[in-house]
Structure 1
């Protein structure tokens, strides 16, 4: 039994180190190749664009979204707006009233209201695709606010006929609302500023992030269209398109601000969907990727990209195995706990993302330790979603992320945190990690101490956020 535990602990430690070292590799590529590309010339004739807005019960943010879309600077007769509405609340009437009161000359506006959410967001986009007039399709979720020049800054890049999709960078409307939103913003900045930039500039496979991007219609059709087989239809379509030979690109200088989940319960729900959907996509496409004609390194990077949410169950297993390893480490394996601390890749990614983004990057630097322990604290929530993605059915309910448009009353009303089994298990893990840290100190297993401290702080911090939200929403 102890031999098996030792083998598992070693494999998991090395596996996590691979993800971390890959972060360092991406960071090296980012700094090696930072030159900005020259913008392509403005087209003589702007291509037709359909703006697709998949919405579901977005009463708080739909007016703000439509106002931003109507303000887009683009030739009216080359622009179509599709409101793909699956709502069951007052969102539908708000949309109808807005359309009635705002009729831009020459713009074709279509309001598609489905009575059944067949296929969820993927189903809505697929239905819109059937009647879309545009050669290109821009997609925005309800909490995004594209700037007026969005289309004119992005569309010239499609001069490359092999370019199937362009993703732009997400900004943050409510970055400074709380410690939770600040941590999310820093993590998202690392993804967009470093990872997406490196993948797009170095020929690696990348993904459309579900919003603030534009697709070439022929690319979507060639790749098999929007499919609801996974909960991350964007990730799925991105890889299918690239496996078909299409190229995806990323424009870091085009920023579209969006709303971050303001409370821990909403954030957990969003993360569950992303974790489960990413692993479902890996189940679906790992084999075609490995069998594809891409070179070995592109495949390797693609495998790490598709499976990146496996980090969460690996982190959880490492904690559970530590109770045995704490007392059984031989001198040969004393280095193992220190191997887990090679997770220097993520903090350096966060630092790189924070530095060019704002003049207060030194202040954001202080968030990096908190983000590291928070990433551990969310691991139980995400690990459970990964297990469902690995072993459960491919189909699942697409649970939308509620949008609040900064309305505190709505946050209190619609984000109630029930103290469910996950919260109590997180508390138990925090106690377990703290006990393990104390015992490791008593037994002078110093390699375990910093790691157990991070587990204690991570799970403990997430529990405190949940308890505070429960207290606040219960009071209201």
Structure 2
């Protein structure tokens, strides 16, 4: 009994730290985040050192199982690297709402004729009228002087009925002879027929709130700001929520990124454009030659290319639009495959994190698609370890005793789960989030 209490002591210490100290701290304070993330990092390092010295190095070199043990330790190191980047990002936080209030007070005090001109781009391909109508009407209804605002519907399917609808509502219908470079090419064509000082982009299934421009435009008072991104919220449930029957207890999958991670990235000056629900300085777009076409995720590459030129992206974490989430599993996977492929593509382009000029070492590391490259291999390894053991007898490690495992592995799990519960309340459920990750693993690999 005493032996097991000693083994559980590190876990009790971790739990006590969170329950006595962390639960009383504000998760919006950077110092509190930094201390908490550092403790979790230290617990993880302790575990990895024990894994190496007690469960890997002692394993005898007597067959394929020796390489299997080392392979799994390498997988754990990859997971540790991914989690370390996550802890670094989440160790800071910034809320730009108060700054938006202060900037807006001065920005909109100027005479109406001195306000900048804004073009709203709505790129579309095959969306039906009942989807497009909301988006177009919402853009036309933005709270901004009418003579300073133009709405461009960029139609890559060249539909006559959409042209007539735009003429009726007062939007500008734009087509081009081909669909070269997909969405990026469509928006670049829009740049050639428009001249607004700023360009706001809304996907065809997103509706802007009336105050979108009044909250975002003032940030451009700083000439170094190239893009202001806002979160994407959805009025329908995604297919994972529906299939698991968790519509009320688990938010849509993207809330962890948009509500938590994006604001933390902004605190580090590594926020990036997510395409829809953003607004961009035209001068910055002209400086980079328009929207980049080298990657299918032109939004991420736009951010990187602007960083090459010294521009920054700001993130305003306010609900300023609402749209449609993927409505079925096919759309869910198409969307995530696009993000994954686009992230990996940035490794091979001249303006990406590896070769792009003007990026600091920190920015290069933080824009590497580490999560896309690592998470699915890690999850696959987790899934096949039990099968490998029962089929071949190959153990995942040199086993010492249960007390050692409890003493070193359990504190890591408890520390990570308690951190996520504190830093991202309601956005992360351990079992459900792991199930969703496993569900995506084979398709994404």
Query: What TM-score, normalized to structure 1?
Result: 0.68
Query: For residues 266 and 237 of structure 1, do their structure 2 counterparts lie closer, same or farther at Cα, with a shift above 3 Å needed?
Result: same
Partner of 1:258 in structure 2?
Answer: 323
Match of 2:181 among 101, 111, 119: 119
- Compute the RMSD of aligned alpha carbons: 3.1
Q: Check conservation: 2:376, 2:444, Cα contact below 8 A.
A: yes
Alignment map for 1:76-155 (pairs within 5 Å): 76-87=146-157, 92-103=159-170, 109-155=171-217
| 1:202 equivalent in structure 2 | 268
Distance 1:264 1:210, change over 3 A: same
Deviation at 1:131, TM superposition (A): 2.1
Kindly tell me: are residues 136 and 345 of structure 1, through their superposed partners in 2, closer, same or farther at Cα, counting changes over 3 Å? farther
Structure 2 unmatched runs, 5+: 1-63
Using the alignment, how far apart are the partners of 1:34 and 1:139 within structure 2? 23
**Which runs of 5 or more residues in structure 1 are unaligned?**
104-108, 356-360, 384-476
The residue that corresponds to 1:16 in the other structure is: 79
Whose radius of gyration is greater, 1 or 2?
Answer: 2
Q: Deviations over 1:364-413 (max 9, x none)?
A: 77x55312211121011122xxxxxxxxxxxxxxxxxxxxxxxxxxxxxx
Query: In structure 1, how many angstroms separate the alpha carbons of the residues matched to 2:416 and 2:312?
Result: 27
| Mapped partners of 1:193, 1:321: distance in 2 | 34
- Residues of 2 paired with 1:222 and 1:340: CA distance? 50
> Which of 118, 121, 129 is the matching residue for 1:49?
118
User: Aligned residue for 1:74?
Assistant: 144
The partner residue of 1:26 within 46, 68, 89 is: 89
CA distance in 1 between counterparts of 2:323 and 2:263 reads 19
> Is residue 238–residue 252 contact of structure 2 (8 Å, CA) maintained in 1?
no
Q: 1:154-202 CA distances to partner (integer Å, 9 max, x unpaired)?
A: 1111100010000011111114885358499443111112211111122
1:220 to partner: Cα distance: 1.5
* Closer, same or farther: CA 239–345 of 1 in aligned 2, 3 Å: farther
- From 298, 309, 312, the counterpart of 2:372: 309
Change in Cα spacing, 1:230 to 1:185, as seen in structure 2 (3 Å) is farther
Structure-2 residue corresponding to 1:236: 301
Q: Who is 2:20 aligned against?
A: none
Contact 1:184 1:260 (C-alpha < 8 Å) held by counterparts: no
User: What do the CA deviations read for 1:319-366 (whole angstroms, capped 9, x no partner)?
Assistant: 34664466232137986994997597588557644x4xxxxx5xx77x
CA distance in 1, matches of 2:353, 2:71: 23
CA distance in 2, matches of 1:123, 1:162: 25
Taking a change above 3 Å as real, the CA distance of residues 374 and 54 of structure 1, as seen in their structure-2 partners, is same
> What is the Cα deviation at residue 86 of structure 1?
0.9
Aligned residues of 2:231 and 2:316 also touching (Cα < 8 A): yes
Name which of 95, 99, 106 aligns with 1:38. Answer: 99
| Distance in 2 of aligned mates of 1:121 and 1:140 | 12
Query: Counterparts in 2 of 1:285-296, with a 5 A limit?
Result: 285-288=352-355, 292-294=358-360, 296=361
TM-aligned CA deviation for residue 215 of structure 1: 0.7
- 1:248–1:184 CA distance, 2 compared to 1 (3 A): farther
Instruction: Decide whether the 8 Å contact of 2:304 with 2:353 is kept in 1.
Output: no
Quote the offset at 1:78 in angstroms: 1.1
Contact 2:236 2:324 in 1 (8 A): yes
Identify if the C-alpha distance between structure 1 residues 36 and 111 changes in structure 2 by more than 3 Å, giving closer, same or farther: closer
Does the 8 Å CA contact 2:124/2:156 hold for their aligned counterparts? yes
Instruction: State the shift of 1:34 in Å.
Output: 5.5
TM-score when scaled to structure 2?
0.72
Is the contact made by 2:211 and 2:320 (CA closer than 8 Å) also made in structure 1? no
- Structure with more contact order per residue of length (Cα contacts < 8 Å, sep ≥ 6): 2
